[in-house]
Amino acid sequence: MSKKVVKVKVPATTANLGAGFDTFGLALTLYNEFEVEEAEGIFIESFPENEFLKNPENNLFIKVVKYLCESEGKTFHGARLKQTINIPVARGLGSSATAIVAGILTSFAVHKKPLTDEEFFKVAYLFEPHPDNLLPAWKGGFITALKTEQKTYYSKIDFPKDIKAVVVIPDFELSTQLARSVLPKEVPLKDAIFNLQRATLFIKAIEEKKYDLLKVAMEDRLHQPYRKNLIPNFDKVIESAYKNGAIGASLSGAGSTMLALATENFDKIGQSMVEAFKEVSISAEYKVLDIDTEGAKIEIFEKEA
Ligand code: HSE
C-alpha cells in the first residue's frame, strides 16, 4: 500500500521595507518546509525541536488544513506533519505566513481544487490579515498589495538580482500584536504625505536601479518611530548598516529583525548591526539572503506505507 505525501517549501518574507507600511513585501531565500500525510490522529515533528509548535492548538499549518477540511463538510481525521522551521518565529520574517500558505496549498492540491486568489485570501485572512507577508510567501519576489473589504489587489515588481538582504535577527521575539498596539489610530497629514512620497520613490528606484535613492525612500513616519521603542538601539543599528555600505535599511515587518539592503559588504554590514545590538546587551545573528522569485513550491509523491 502506498501513501500520498505532500511537501511544501515556503520562503521567508520581509514586509514594509520602511515607507511601504502594510503594502510592500519581499520574499527571501530562507525556507520553512512542511511534509504531511494523512493519519488517524495528529502527530507533529518539528525541526528544530519546538514544543509550542508541536501542540496542534498552536500549529497554524494544522489549523488551516483542519479548517479547510471541515469547511467542506468533512471530518478531519488527522495528519502526520514533519516541519522544518528555518525562519525564526515572531521576528518579522513571516514565519506564520509560511504555515498558512503551506496549509492552503496542501489542502487545495490534495482535493485537486484549483486555487484562485479569491479562495486563497478568503482562508488566509482568517489566520493573518497581512497580504504584504502572505503574497510574497505564496508568489515570491517583490510585491505591492492592498486589501479592500471585497478584494486584494497586488502587483509583482521585478527586483534587481544584485541586491541582497542582510537580516539581523535579535534573540528576542516581538509579537505583531504588540508591535501594532503601539501604533496611533490616526496620523498627521504630513506624515501620510511623507510616506506616500517615499514609497512611490522606492518603486521607481527599484525599477530603474537608482540605488542612491533608496536611503531616503525607506524612511518612514507611520510605524518605525513608534515601534523603535520596542527595539533597543534601533537608530544605531540602522546607522551602522548605512555606515558600512548598505543602500537601504529598515525594520523587517513588525520586528524584531532589522533589514539592510546591499550590493556589497554584506558581512561587514551584518557584523556592524550585530555589534550595535551587542552595545545594549542584545545578542543577534545575521544572515545574508537573496530575493526568492518563485514563492511556495509544492511536491506530491507516493511513499510505501
Ligand atoms: N505590515 C505588517 C506590520 C506586517 O508591519 O504590522 C506584519 O507581519
Judge: domain 2-157+292-304, CATH 3.30.230.10: yes
Chain segment 91-150, per-residue pLDDT in tens: 999 999 999 999 999 999 988 888 999 999 999 999 999 999 999 999 999 999 999 999
Question: Three cell numbers at 284?
Answer: 543577534
63 lines ligand 1 (CB under 6 A): no
Pocket test for ligand 1, best of 100, 128, 223 (most atoms within 8 A of CB): 223
Strand partners, 285: 169
What is the per-residue pLDDT across 193-206, written as a single tens digit (0 to 9) for each? 999 999 999 999 99
The fold adopted by the segment(s) 164-289 is Alpha-Beta Plaits (3.30.70)
211 Cα–ligand 1 center, Å: 24
Q: Cis ω on the peptide bond leading into residue 250 (within 30° of 0)?
A: no
Bridge partners, 170 (sequence order): 284
Q: Where are the domains of the chain?
A: 2-157+292-304, 164-289
pLDDT of residue 61: 97
**pLDDT at 305 exceeding the cut of 80:** no
- 153-163, pLDDT tens digit by residue? 999 999 999 99
In angstroms, rounded to a whole number, what is the distance separating the alpha carbons of residues 214 and 194? Answer: 14
pLDDT digits 0-9 by tens, 223-239: 999 999 999 999 999 99
Q: Is the pLDDT of residue 72 over 90?
A: no
pLDDT at 174 over 90: yes
Regarding the beta carbon of 178 and ligand 1, being less than 6 Å apart is answered: no
**Using only C-alpha atoms, what is the Rg of the chain?**
20
Cα(258)–Cα(16) distance, integer angstroms: 12
